[in-house]
Amino acid sequence: MKENQLFFLLQLAGGTFPSGGFSQSWGLETFVAEGRVAGAADCRAFLVAYLDAVVARCEGPILREATGYAGAWDTKALAALEELSLATRLTKESRESSLRTGKALARVSAEIAEDRELSAFFAAYRRAGITNPVAFGTVCGRLGIGPRSALEAYAFNTVNGIAQSAVKMIPLGNTEAQRLLFEARPAMAECVLRSMTLPVAAVTNFSPGLDLASILHETLPVRLYMS
Protein backbone atom coordinates (compact mmCIF):
# COMPACT_ATOMS: atom_id res chain seq x y z
CA MET A 1 0.00 0.00 0.00
CA LYS A 2 1.30 3.46 -0.86
CA GLU A 3 2.07 5.96 1.85
CA ASN A 4 -1.00 7.48 3.51
CA GLN A 5 -3.42 5.16 1.69
CA LEU A 6 -4.60 3.72 5.01
CA PHE A 7 -6.30 7.03 5.69
CA PHE A 8 -8.24 6.80 2.42
CA LEU A 9 -9.25 3.22 3.17
CA LEU A 10 -10.61 4.31 6.54
CA GLN A 11 -12.51 7.09 4.79
CA LEU A 12 -13.90 4.72 2.16
CA ALA A 13 -14.94 2.07 4.69
CA GLY A 14 -16.36 4.52 7.23
CA GLY A 15 -20.06 5.09 7.61
CA THR A 16 -19.90 8.72 6.47
CA PHE A 17 -18.71 8.15 2.88
CA PRO A 18 -21.65 9.26 0.68
CA SER A 19 -22.10 6.08 -1.35
CA GLY A 20 -25.64 5.53 -0.08
CA GLY A 21 -24.82 2.32 1.73
CA PHE A 22 -26.50 3.67 4.85
CA SER A 23 -29.85 3.41 3.05
CA GLN A 24 -29.46 -0.34 2.40
CA SER A 25 -30.08 -3.29 4.74
CA TRP A 26 -29.16 -5.96 2.14
CA GLY A 27 -32.08 -8.20 3.13
CA LEU A 28 -31.87 -7.73 6.90
CA GLU A 29 -35.07 -5.67 7.03
CA THR A 30 -37.12 -8.58 5.66
CA PHE A 31 -35.61 -10.97 8.19
CA VAL A 32 -36.44 -8.55 11.01
CA ALA A 33 -39.99 -8.02 9.73
CA GLU A 34 -40.54 -11.79 9.65
CA GLY A 35 -39.17 -12.19 13.18
CA ARG A 36 -36.22 -14.29 12.04
CA VAL A 37 -33.72 -11.74 13.34
CA ALA A 38 -34.80 -10.46 16.74
CA GLY A 39 -31.62 -9.86 18.72
CA ALA A 40 -27.83 -9.67 18.73
CA ALA A 41 -27.32 -13.43 18.35
CA ASP A 42 -29.60 -13.60 15.31
CA CYS A 43 -27.89 -10.57 13.79
CA ARG A 44 -24.49 -12.16 14.33
CA ALA A 45 -25.65 -15.27 12.47
CA PHE A 46 -26.98 -13.10 9.63
CA LEU A 47 -23.66 -11.24 9.39
CA VAL A 48 -21.62 -14.43 9.21
CA ALA A 49 -23.94 -15.95 6.59
CA TYR A 50 -23.91 -12.76 4.49
CA LEU A 51 -20.11 -12.52 4.56
CA ASP A 52 -19.80 -16.13 3.44
CA ALA A 53 -22.55 -16.29 0.81
CA VAL A 54 -22.31 -12.84 -0.73
CA VAL A 55 -18.86 -11.40 -0.09
CA ALA A 56 -16.51 -14.40 0.15
CA ARG A 57 -18.10 -16.41 -2.67
CA CYS A 58 -19.13 -13.63 -5.03
CA GLU A 59 -18.35 -9.96 -4.45
CA GLY A 60 -14.93 -10.46 -2.85
CA PRO A 61 -13.22 -12.33 -5.71
CA ILE A 62 -14.71 -9.84 -8.19
CA LEU A 63 -13.40 -6.94 -6.12
CA ARG A 64 -9.97 -8.61 -5.93
CA GLU A 65 -9.79 -8.89 -9.71
CA ALA A 66 -10.98 -5.31 -10.17
CA THR A 67 -8.17 -4.12 -7.91
CA GLY A 68 -5.58 -5.92 -10.02
CA TYR A 69 -7.00 -4.77 -13.36
CA ALA A 70 -7.20 -1.19 -12.13
CA GLY A 71 -3.61 -1.32 -10.91
CA ALA A 72 -2.55 -2.25 -14.44
CA TRP A 73 -5.26 0.08 -15.79
CA ASP A 74 -6.77 -2.58 -18.03
CA THR A 75 -10.12 -0.94 -18.72
CA LYS A 76 -11.27 -3.66 -21.13
CA ALA A 77 -10.82 -6.31 -18.44
CA LEU A 78 -12.65 -4.09 -15.95
CA ALA A 79 -15.57 -3.69 -18.35
CA ALA A 80 -15.80 -7.46 -18.83
CA LEU A 81 -15.63 -7.97 -15.06
CA GLU A 82 -18.48 -5.51 -14.60
CA GLU A 83 -20.63 -7.60 -16.97
CA LEU A 84 -19.99 -10.63 -14.78
CA SER A 85 -20.67 -8.71 -11.59
CA LEU A 86 -23.96 -7.38 -12.90
CA ALA A 87 -25.01 -10.87 -14.01
CA THR A 88 -24.65 -12.17 -10.43
CA ARG A 89 -27.45 -9.85 -9.28
CA LEU A 90 -30.61 -11.90 -9.62
CA THR A 91 -33.19 -9.66 -7.97
CA LYS A 92 -34.26 -6.17 -8.91
CA GLU A 93 -33.54 -4.64 -5.52
CA SER A 94 -30.07 -6.14 -5.11
CA ARG A 95 -29.13 -5.12 -8.65
CA GLU A 96 -30.38 -1.56 -8.29
CA SER A 97 -28.83 -1.16 -4.84
CA SER A 98 -25.40 -2.32 -5.99
CA LEU A 99 -25.51 -0.11 -9.08
CA ARG A 100 -26.63 2.90 -7.07
CA THR A 101 -24.01 2.59 -4.34
CA GLY A 102 -21.26 1.79 -6.84
CA LYS A 103 -22.18 4.78 -8.97
CA ALA A 104 -22.08 7.15 -5.99
CA LEU A 105 -18.80 5.70 -4.73
CA ALA A 106 -17.24 6.02 -8.19
CA ARG A 107 -18.37 9.60 -8.69
CA VAL A 108 -17.22 10.91 -5.34
CA SER A 109 -13.92 8.99 -5.35
CA ALA A 110 -12.94 10.13 -8.84
CA GLU A 111 -13.83 13.71 -7.97
CA ILE A 112 -11.88 13.93 -4.72
CA ALA A 113 -8.88 12.06 -6.20
CA GLU A 114 -8.90 14.41 -9.21
CA ASP A 115 -8.06 11.48 -11.48
CA ARG A 116 -9.02 12.19 -15.10
CA GLU A 117 -8.61 8.62 -16.33
CA LEU A 118 -10.69 7.26 -13.44
CA SER A 119 -13.36 9.86 -14.16
CA ALA A 120 -13.34 9.00 -17.87
CA PHE A 121 -13.74 5.28 -17.16
CA PHE A 122 -16.61 5.79 -14.74
CA ALA A 123 -18.30 8.24 -17.13
CA ALA A 124 -19.36 5.28 -19.27
CA TYR A 125 -21.45 4.07 -16.31
CA ARG A 126 -22.88 7.44 -15.36
CA ARG A 127 -26.36 6.59 -16.60
CA ALA A 128 -26.76 2.90 -15.73
CA GLY A 129 -24.43 2.78 -12.73
CA ILE A 130 -21.65 0.35 -11.86
CA THR A 131 -21.78 -2.49 -9.33
CA ASN A 132 -20.36 -1.75 -5.92
CA PRO A 133 -17.56 -4.38 -5.78
CA VAL A 134 -16.20 -3.35 -9.18
CA ALA A 135 -16.34 0.34 -8.29
CA PHE A 136 -14.69 -0.26 -4.91
CA GLY A 137 -11.94 -2.44 -6.38
CA THR A 138 -11.32 -0.08 -9.28
CA VAL A 139 -10.88 2.93 -7.02
CA CYS A 140 -8.57 1.04 -4.66
CA GLY A 141 -6.43 -0.42 -7.44
CA ARG A 142 -6.16 2.90 -9.22
CA LEU A 143 -4.92 4.54 -6.02
CA GLY A 144 -2.32 1.86 -5.37
CA ILE A 145 -4.15 -0.10 -2.68
CA GLY A 146 -3.56 -3.86 -2.81
CA PRO A 147 -6.34 -6.44 -2.98
CA ARG A 148 -6.03 -7.71 0.59
CA SER A 149 -6.29 -4.24 2.10
CA ALA A 150 -9.18 -3.41 -0.24
CA LEU A 151 -11.00 -6.59 0.78
CA GLU A 152 -10.46 -5.92 4.48
CA ALA A 153 -11.97 -2.47 4.07
CA TYR A 154 -14.89 -3.85 2.03
CA ALA A 155 -15.63 -6.59 4.55
CA PHE A 156 -15.62 -4.09 7.39
CA ASN A 157 -17.79 -1.66 5.44
CA THR A 158 -20.31 -4.46 4.84
CA VAL A 159 -20.45 -5.56 8.47
CA ASN A 160 -20.56 -1.99 9.76
CA GLY A 161 -23.46 -1.12 7.46
CA ILE A 162 -25.50 -4.14 8.53
CA ALA A 163 -24.76 -3.51 12.21
CA GLN A 164 -25.88 0.10 11.95
CA SER A 165 -29.08 -0.99 10.22
CA ALA A 166 -29.67 -3.45 13.07
CA VAL A 167 -29.41 -0.61 15.61
CA LYS A 168 -32.46 1.01 14.06
CA MET A 169 -34.52 -2.06 13.22
CA ILE A 170 -34.14 -4.71 15.92
CA PRO A 171 -33.30 -2.44 17.78
CA LEU A 172 -29.81 -2.96 19.19
CA GLY A 173 -27.99 -0.65 21.56
CA ASN A 174 -24.85 1.05 20.29
CA THR A 175 -22.68 -1.02 22.62
CA GLU A 176 -24.26 -4.23 21.31
CA ALA A 177 -23.60 -3.10 17.75
CA GLN A 178 -19.95 -2.39 18.54
CA ARG A 179 -19.66 -5.80 20.19
CA LEU A 180 -21.00 -7.36 16.99
CA LEU A 181 -18.29 -5.60 15.01
CA PHE A 182 -15.62 -6.69 17.47
CA GLU A 183 -16.77 -10.31 17.48
CA ALA A 184 -17.08 -10.38 13.68
CA ARG A 185 -13.31 -10.06 13.23
CA PRO A 186 -12.68 -13.82 12.69
CA ALA A 187 -15.55 -14.01 10.19
CA MET A 188 -14.21 -10.98 8.33
CA ALA A 189 -10.71 -12.44 8.26
CA GLU A 190 -12.02 -15.75 6.91
CA CYS A 191 -14.06 -13.86 4.32
CA VAL A 192 -10.96 -12.00 3.12
CA LEU A 193 -8.95 -15.23 2.94
CA ARG A 194 -11.58 -16.96 0.82
CA SER A 195 -11.97 -13.90 -1.39
CA MET A 196 -8.23 -13.86 -2.03
CA THR A 197 -8.11 -17.51 -3.10
CA LEU A 198 -11.41 -18.24 -4.89
CA PRO A 199 -10.99 -18.11 -8.69
CA VAL A 200 -13.39 -15.82 -10.51
CA ALA A 201 -14.53 -18.83 -12.53
CA ALA A 202 -15.79 -20.35 -9.28
CA VAL A 203 -17.82 -17.30 -8.22
CA THR A 204 -21.37 -18.22 -7.23
CA ASN A 205 -24.47 -16.15 -6.55
CA PHE A 206 -26.34 -19.01 -4.84
CA SER A 207 -27.98 -17.41 -1.80
CA PRO A 208 -31.71 -18.26 -2.10
CA GLY A 209 -32.60 -17.03 1.39
CA LEU A 210 -31.24 -13.57 0.67
CA ASP A 211 -32.78 -13.53 -2.80
CA LEU A 212 -36.21 -14.33 -1.35
CA ALA A 213 -35.71 -11.64 1.30
CA SER A 214 -34.89 -9.17 -1.47
CA ILE A 215 -38.02 -10.10 -3.45
CA LEU A 216 -40.29 -9.95 -0.39
CA HIS A 217 -38.83 -6.62 0.70
CA GLU A 218 -40.59 -4.84 -2.15
CA THR A 219 -43.98 -5.70 -0.64
CA LEU A 220 -43.30 -5.01 3.04
CA PRO A 221 -45.97 -2.67 4.43
CA VAL A 222 -43.34 -0.52 6.18
CA ARG A 223 -39.79 -0.07 4.91
CA LEU A 224 -36.94 1.99 6.33
CA TYR A 225 -34.39 0.85 3.76
CA MET A 226 -34.14 0.54 0.00
CA SER A 227 -33.12 -3.12 0.10
Distance CA 227, CA 205 (A): 17
CA-only gyration radius of the chain, Å: 17
For residues 82 and 14, the model is more confident at 82
State pTM to two decimals.
0.94
Long-range contacts of the stretch 200-209 (C-beta < 8 A, 24+): 200/61, 200/62, 200/65, 200/81, 200/84, 202/61, 203/57, 203/58, 203/61, 203/62, 203/84, 203/88, 204/57, 204/58, 205/58, 205/88, 205/89, 205/90, 206/53, 206/57, 207/53, 207/54, 209/49
Amino acid symbol at 68: G
Q: Which domains does the chain have, with CATH numbers?
A: 41-199 (1.10.4190.10)
CA–CA separation, 15 and 164 (whole Å): 9
Mean residue pLDDT of the chain comes to 92
Backbone angles phi, psi at 183, to 5 degrees: -75, -15
CB contact set of 33 (below 8 Å; sequence gap of 6+): 220, 222
pLDDT at 225 > cutoff 80: no
Q: Per-residue pLDDT tens for 164-220? A: 899 998 988 999 999 999 999 999 999 999 999 999 999 999 899 998 988 888 887
Residue 70 vs residue 164, higher pLDDT: 70
Angle at 56 between CA 139 and CA 154, to 5 degrees: 35
* pLDDT, tens digit, 9 for 90 and up, residues 17-59: 877 666 788 889 888 888 999 999 999 999 999 999 999 999 9
Per-residue pLDDT of 82-103, as tens digits, reads 999 999 998 988 999 999 999 9
Distance CA 160, CA 195 (A): 18
- Compute how many other C-beta atoms are within 10 angstroms of the C-beta atom of residue 105: 24
